[in-house]
Amino acid sequence: MSGTPPMPRKVVIIGAGIVGCCLAEELTALGWSDITVLEQGPLPAAGGSTSHAPGLVFRTNPSKTMTELAGYTVEKFTELGAFDAVGGLELATTHERWADLHRRAGLAASWGVRGELISPARCKELWPTLDESGLYGGFLTPEDGLANAVHACSALISRATARGARFLDRHTVTGIERAQGRVTGVVTDRGSFPADLVVSAAGFWGPVIGRMAGVDVPLQPLAHQYVKTGPLQAPAGAPILRHQERDLYFRPHDGGRLGIGSYAHGPLPVDPTDLPTYDEAPVMPSSLAFTPQDFAPSWLDCQELMPGLRDAGIAEGFNGVFSFTPDGFPVLGEAPEPAGFWLAEAVWVTHSAGVARAVAEWITTGHPGIDLHECELSRFEDTQRSPAYVAERGAQQFVEVYDVLHPLQPMERPRPLRVSPFYARQQELGAHFLEGGGWERPHWYEANAPLARDVPERDPWAARHWSPIAAAEARATREKVALYDMTPLRRLEVTGPGSPEFLQRMTTNNLAKRPGAVTYTLLLDERGGIRSDLTVARLGPERFQIGANSPADLEWLTRHAPDSVTLRDITSGTCCIGVWGPLARDLVQPLTHDDFSHRGFGYFRTKQTYIGHVPVTAMRLSYVGELGWELYTSADLGLRLWDTLWAAGQELGVIAAGRSAFNSLRLEKGYRAWGQDMTSEHDPFEAGLGFAVRMDKEFLGRSELDEQRPLKRRLTALTLDDPAAVVLGKEPVHVGGAVAGYITSASYGYTLGRCVAYAWLPPLAAGTGVQIEYFGEKVSATVRDEPLFDPEMNRIRR
């Protein structure tokens, strides 16, 4: 998309549930009036998930983005008279859940949600029907509450219609018209509608609409049980309630009845093509027959929590269809092809208005106004789009919707899915694998256990998915040499006569260098926000290899590339080993005829050579702050490369090292991780990456940057004062007694002997004391100048 805002165009929105109605209203508010909303059911309750949604809005989420989307939804629904801020209450009936509520209170503070931890007695005051004897306490968020989605739809339809939009119910979409790679219209059972842009906001019918356009929508519809009790003395005006230990939630209904939803039953997948039409359905298409046997265990749990329910009984129930994705986030954005086909799918009422505003701004200005990298369609790898993967992971998301999940906790299935050529050797070394992007990623190796020394003991939460072996691997990297599997990091090839000028225009640093140069640079959006950070190696006059972050980088570059440029993802056909440590040269030099001395092979340089029998592209880079190289070769030769390096390194004490040590070392050196430390919401100067920006050249986003502008916030290095203390990320940071920011990345710095954390904070002088809230406790930390380790760069440039 170009930086010039698109002129108003003819838009057809498919689906008049809460997302489609919100989107039409937001688009018309921005001046786009040629909007047609097509709905197969009757309005305003069309029979999709919106029509039966219970309406509970809890804003706090581990994702800052999702919390902000929910926050705007509350604002919008309040404005529409469709929100009742009764508050939200989450209960703890186990020690683990009580600890997790402390963590959630920290998340709420980080993202600006007001909340407090309360006693069992206070929980009983708010919900008199509770048996408080089994409670540890609760987390109360006073500004959460109940959304009336159908009422909101009515109000939104009125607003959008007054501005020129039209809503047509009883129109079933049967096809998407396309020509020359673009959408041109929508076909229904009652005629065709030309369109410049088509937005699928069809909810759990999204995959059906997607197939009409030739787009895979990674969404799994699943049924979720909801019941209403008979009359009892339900507390009027009580906060919405979650009993997550039993996968239950509660809300009052008129007549003194309770509504109860359960995620405790097994996943109940639904094929949307098997659902009846609105006129054929006994109630509505999204409301399936209640299965009492699935709810029976949950009903016993309800009575244990609220003994008064024993006399109330279940008056009615249904199995309601909702949308789940492989990672639990919505699916948003324009499809790569056909152009003009947009998705706003897998969106629950909680986030509906926030998503609609973001998509409307995205369509009308080219930018969503909020970081959506977790939600973009382009985040999914090809392997994550298969129907089997979507079904299995979607079902697991249902199972885990209320589980206490560690930030490093991987999905259990389907694994292994993607493995590097070194996988067999890693298994032999006792690798402990976690998963990311479908890849098996070693985090440490049990073979290195004899090297482990005493390190500070961790609390149970911080000790999950961690081993003291990581300290030994970090130390070996600092003192000797280690092999790191860097295969999962994305690699792109850019070729063609227009490639030098294209990359120079798209990125912030100067790429007008001779072949053999490697450059760290940034991809910015039109507003100067950091879309990604890249390592660009010029392998020839018209050939570049790029180290990127996600599939979204390839899509972004492809959208902007002229015909004279060819882009190709080469990740799956290649592999990479990072050889790092003070003895890296001693390991690599005897295996090649090329000169790997500092003079012969300088820092941020690349050359194509051989390591033993294996042709490699060697790049002198280091993400851990030590001498070394990244060695790339084709996947078929990867195992030979590993074995060659491993055999040659035995006399040097070479080890294999994992991601846990890697993360520690990179934070000691101050290296950023895109998506954690910075996103499109941050500019290069406040992120501490001004060195990668050349303001004397033209590049996308340059006009929005001002290196002289005083910073209001800064990505700040912290070290914890207590050598035994650890934080993990997303915790609130207090300055002067008030929350001033949040942690982005954190890891124990084994070289420094204390935990290192980075945080977004107002500019603070080195030496300033701050406090990090970790599970309700305040942990003292100090602002530091960076980098914390080897600021003179002597170890890398030796």
Q: What tokens appear for 64 in the block?
A: 């800052």
**Do you find a cis peptide bond into 787, omega within 30 degrees of 0?**
yes
Catalytic, out of 72, 226, 249, 423: 249
Is residue 102 part of the annotated active site? The answer reads: no
Q: Are 500 and 494 in contact (CB under 8 A)?
A: no
How many Å apart are CA 482 and CA 622, to the nearest integer?
Answer: 12
Please state, in angstroms and rounded to a whole number, the distance separating the CA atoms of residues 777 and 99. 11
**Catalytic hit among 533, 569, 586, 683:** 533
Element (H, E) at 618: strand 614-619
Tell me the DSSP string of 586-608. HHHGGG-SS--STTTS-TTBEEE
Residue 327 annotated in active site: no
Q: Are 183 and 341 in contact (CB under 8 A)?
A: yes
CB atoms within 10 A of CB 610: 14
Q: Is 373 a catalytic residue?
A: no
CB contact at 8 A, 483 and 673: no
- Please name the residues in contact with 431: beta carbons below 8 A apart, sequence gap of 6 or more: 442, 443, 444, 445, 446, 656, 658
Give the contacts of 651 (CB within 8 A, at least 6 positions apart).
none
Type of residue found at 131: D
**Among residues 224, 243, 265, 351, which one is catalytic?**
224
The closest of 793, 723, 716 to 762, measured between CA atoms, is 716
| Paired sense of beta strands 490-495 and 566-569, if any | antiparallel
User: In 3-state terms, what secondary structure has residue 290?
Assistant: coil
Q: Which amino acid is it at 308? A: G
Location of structure tokens 């590993």: 642
CA dihedral 431, 729, 417, 325 (to 10 degrees): 160
Instruction: Supply the DSSP symbol for 752.
Output: T
d(CA 773, CA 780): 9
In this structure, the dihedral spanned by the alpha carbons of residues 643, 644, 648 and 654, taken in order and rounded to 10 degrees, is: -50
Q: Quickly count: other Cβ atoms within 10 Å of residue 573's Cβ.
A: 12
- Dmax (CA) for the chain in angstroms is 85
Q: Where are the beta strands (DSSP E) in 209-347?
A: 220-229, 240-243, 248-253, 257-262, 268-269, 287-288, 314-324, 331-334, 341-345
66, 706, 712 from 687: Cα distances, Å: 22, 13, 11
Can you tell me the distance from the alpha carbon of 26 to that of 624, in angstroms, rounded to the nearest whole number? 46
Q: How far apart are the first and last CA of the chain?
A: 44
Closest C-alpha among 119, 61, 67, 776 to residue 405 = 61
Of 208, 216, 312, nearest in space to 258 by CA: 312
> Which residues does 518 contact at the CB level (< 8 Å), separation at least 6?
535, 536, 537, 538, 604, 605, 606, 619, 620, 621
Is the separation of the CB atoms in 684 and 659 below 8 Å? no
Residue given tokens 């130390």 in the structure block: 475
User: How far out from the chain centre does Cα 75 lie?
Assistant: 24
Instruction: Give residue 683's Cα distance to chain centre.
Output: 19
Active site residues per annotation: 224, 249, 533
